[in-house]
Structure formats: C-alpha cells, structure tokens
A = this chain, B = another copy of it.
Amino acid sequence: MVASIEDVARHAGVSIATVSRALRGLPDVAAATRDRVLQAATELNYVASPFAARLASGRTTTVGLVVPFVNRWFFAEVIATVEAALRHAGFDLLLYNLGDAQGRSRFFDVMPMRKRVDGVLVASLVLDDAEFSALTELNRPVGLLGLDRDGFLSARIDDVASARTAVDHLVEAGHRRIGLIGGDTDDPMAFTPPLHRRDGYRDALQAAGLDADPGLEHLGYFTVDGGRTATRRLLELADPPTAIFAESDEMAYGALREIRDAGLRVPDDVAVIGFDDQPLSELMDLSTIRQPVADEALSVTTRLLALIASDDHDNLGETEVVLPTELVVRGSSGPRR
C-alpha cells in the first residue's frame, strides 16, 4: 500500500540502487536519471524507510539529548535549540529526561540510547566516572553542555567567573554581608551550576576580604519556593545580609517576594541579583547574569553533527568552547543606601 524503493525503481525504469543513489543526492548519477527518479518518487509519494536505511548503513541520523529536567527555563531553551538544529540537518531528536535519581541510575544502567543514536548530547549533568564510562562505551561522539571533560566536545559558560561577577557587583555597591541561595551540591540529581556558582561566590567574598560565613549560605533548590524559604532564613539571622546572590533567577524571584513580604524594600534594604536572565527577569526588574543558552546549545550541536559526519571520530577539532556572559544591572541591585 505504501510505496517501497522497488516501486520507485520500476516506475522510473531503473534499478533500486540507482533510486537509492539519486534520492540521497550521491554523485555519479546522470541528471536525466536523477530527475526521472525524483519524479517517480514524488508521484508515488515515496520516502525511504529510515529503519531499513539504518540497518543497512549503520547510520541512524538520530541524536540523543539527555536532560535532567525539561520544564525548567534553561533546559527548555536547550531542547528548542537542539531540536531546530537537528531538524535542519535532517536528524531525529530522541529525548531522554532523567526525571529523578532512580530514573537517572536506571538510565545509565540500561543505556536506552544503545544502538539507536549517532551521537549524544548531555546537558548540565554532574557525571561521575561510571557515567562517563557508560557514555564512552556507546562508541559515539558525545557533546557536553554546561560542563566539560577531556576528550569530549563541550560548550558552557564560565559559571565560577560569572558568579563572581555577580557578587563583585554587590560588593562594589557597598555590601559587606552577602547571602547565597544555591542548589544542593550533594543531590543525586545534581546539575553543574550549583557547584561552580557557589565557588564563584566564595571567591568573590575572599577577594573582597570578606569573611565567609556559612550561615549566609542557604539552599534554594533552584525553585521559586526554595528561594523564598532560603530568604526567610537569611532575613531571620541576627545579622541579616544586605544583599543576596541567588544562583538562578527562579530562586531570586522567591527572594524578591519574601523580602517584600517582610516589609523590606528592594534594593534599599536588601539587594538581589540572580543568574540566567530569563524573560521574566526584566519584568521583575531583577539584576542578573545573562547567559547565551541558545548559542551554547547551537555551538555544541553543530560541532557534534560535524563530528558525526566526519570519518575520524577522535579528531574532535575545537573541543571546549566557553561563551561569555553579561552582567545585567536592573533595579534589584541599586547602590546600598
């Protein structure tokens, strides 16, 4: 009922091999022949069965994208960008969402991507050695997003330096007690930002000659509610901070709300800076660090596709790309009064 390559061959009066060549745009096909094949294919509404092609060629024209979340801003942007780039290149996108810790261990255990992708993209996951091994054993090019590792393609921002920029900004505004709202670095679902942004925060304090006060660091779990709770704790301190650095905009939103609910003003009583520059942050008048998510995703996807297309999968070319971030100063971080 649905046309196969044989139907097209018969229709065009050529062999199936010629059909295959013509349709894939291979060289060494006479223009006239190619036209005839193309027309036959169109008339029969033919498309090649991807599975037969994959089985015969060994190529899957599919890339697996592994993410820890899909419904968070950063990852949604990544998915959108990668999907578009793959579609453009004629590749399928197989999406793998790890979900929770259990899903994560099952994933690396079973490796559902085995035998079904030409390459893999992993977004912002803190991977242990066993997980890197599992990835390597796929024997396919791997691209990392938001982290890097020797021997892997990657694109990321400098989270440490960027966080430091954020905190430096608060320091320059005259703040001496600066709170941190971060992610859980021990979480089995840990992703990369919490680690590095916290380091940047600590670096900045040290550089400014400020004491690191563990009481000023609270967990916000990268959620709005987490940000609120952490802020409440910070405000309850005997000597509360006059400024807060939240490792994500979401947590910063929670902070803004909690500060105002406490009857305090932003930035006069407490200044706030976030990280990401989500679209809502402008609305919230939130100072933040802007990161070029789409550029990161596009960079590593493009290089991954090139690597897949090349015959030498070990010649990575430009391996580790670090993209610049930008301090965006808005109303939430005005100078200290």
Number of copies: 2
Q: How far is the CB of A101 from chain B (nearest CB, A)?
A: 14
Q: Does A336 contact B (CB under 8 A)?
A: no
Query: Interface 1/0s, chain A 200-237, versus B by CB < 8 A?
Result: 00000000000000000000000111001000000000
Interface residues of A in 40-76 (CB under 8 A from B): 47-52, 54-55, 60, 69-73, 76
Q: How far is the CB of A190 from chain B (nearest CB, A)?
A: 19
- A48, A77, A92: residue with the most chain B Cβ atoms closer than 10 Å: A92
Find out whether the CB atom of A71 lies under 8 angstroms from the CB atom of B77: yes
**When chains A and B are docked, how far (Å) is the Cα of A115 from the Cα of B72?**
32
Find out whether the CB atom of A280 lies under 8 angstroms from the CB atom of B224: yes
Find out whether the CB atom of B71 lies under 8 angstroms from the CB atom of A80: yes
Contacts of A93 in B (CB 8 A): 94-95
Find out whether the CB atom of A114 lies under 8 angstroms from the CB atom of B70: no
**When chains A and B are docked, how far (Å) is the Cα of A196 from the Cα of B257?**
33
Find out whether the CB atom of B97 lies under 8 angstroms from the CB atom of A95: no
B50, B96, B114: the one within 8 Å of A116 (CB):
B50
Interface residues of A in 92-128 (CB under 8 A from B): 92-97, 99, 103, 111-112, 114-116
Q: Does A247 contact B (CB under 8 A)?
A: no
Interface size on A, residues (CB 8 A): 46
**When chains A and B are docked, how far (Å) is the Cα of A54 from the Cα of B60?**
13
Q: Does A253 contact B (CB under 8 A)?
A: yes
Contacts of A111 in B (CB 8 A): 47
Q: Does A84 contact B (CB under 8 A)?
A: yes
Q: How far is the CB of A107 from chain B (nearest CB, A)?
A: 9
Find out whether the CB atom of A97 lies under 8 angstroms from the CB atom of B80: yes
Contacts of A139 in B (CB 8 A): 2
Contacts of A280 in B (CB 8 A): 224, 253, 280
B69, B94, B224: the one within 8 Å of A283 (CB):
B224
Find out whether the CB atom of B52 lies under 8 angstroms from the CB atom of A70: no
Q: Does A83 contact B (CB under 8 A)?
A: yes
| 27 pairs of residues in contact across A and B, judged by CB atoms under 8 Å | A2-B139, A47-B111, A47-B115, A48-B115, A49-B55, A50-B116, A51-B51, A51-B60, A51-B115, A51-B116, A52-B55, A55-B55, A69-B80, A71-B77, A71-B79, A76-B76, A83-B95, A84-B103, A87-B103, A87-B112, A92-B94, A92-B112, A94-B94, A228-B283, A253-B280, A257-B283, A280-B280
Known A52-B55, A95-B95; further 9 A-B contacts with Cβ < 8 A = A49-B115, A51-B116, A71-B73, A87-B97, A87-B103, A92-B112, A92-B116, A228-B283, A280-B280
